[in-house]
């Protein structure tokens, strides 16, 4: 199944990509997904970020669904 990944700010800059789609197997948890993403982009292991699933900060045990939007958010700087 297909999920959409969004990268912002410092993460977008470090990876030189703002978004991409990825095929993952059914029943993949966010933790498993993150592990595979770090394999693809090793620099992520050195960066500080939170993950939002469909626009909500999410626990790592959550199971991903077809079409899920996964966003990697670096530290906030609003205001």
Partner 1 sequence: MKNVFKKGAISSEFIGESIKKHQSKTSIGAHNIFLGQVRADTIDGKMVSAIEYSTYEEMANQKFHDIREAAFEKFELTCSHIYHSIGKVGVGEICLFVFVSAPHRKVVFEAIEFIVEQIKKEAPVFGKELFEDNTHVWKVNK
Label the pairing between strands 50-53 and 19-23.
unpaired
Backbone angles phi, psi at 49, to 5 degrees: -155, 160
Q: Does 79 bind partner 1 (CB under 8 A)?
A: yes
Count, residues in the chain: 79
Q: Does 58 bind partner 1 (CB under 8 A)?
A: no
Q: Does 55 bind partner 1 (CB under 8 A)?
A: yes
User: Are residues 3 and 68 in contact, defined by beta-carbon separation less than 8 angstroms?
Assistant: yes
Given candidates 37, 38, 52, 62, which one binds partner 1 under the rule CB under 8 A?
52
Q: Does 78 bind partner 1 (CB under 8 A)?
A: yes
Q: Does 77 bind partner 1 (CB under 8 A)?
A: yes
């Amino acid at each position: 199944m297909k999920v959409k990944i969004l990268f912002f700010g410092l993460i977008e800059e470090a990876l030189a990509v703002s978004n991409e789609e990825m095929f993952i197997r059914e029943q993949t948890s966010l933790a498993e997904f993150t592990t595979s993403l770090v394999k693809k982009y090793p620099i992520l292991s050195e960066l500080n970020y939170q993950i939002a699933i469909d626009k909500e900060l999410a626990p790592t045990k959550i199971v991903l669904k077809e079409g899920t939007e996964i966003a990697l958010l670096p530290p906030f700087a609003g205001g």
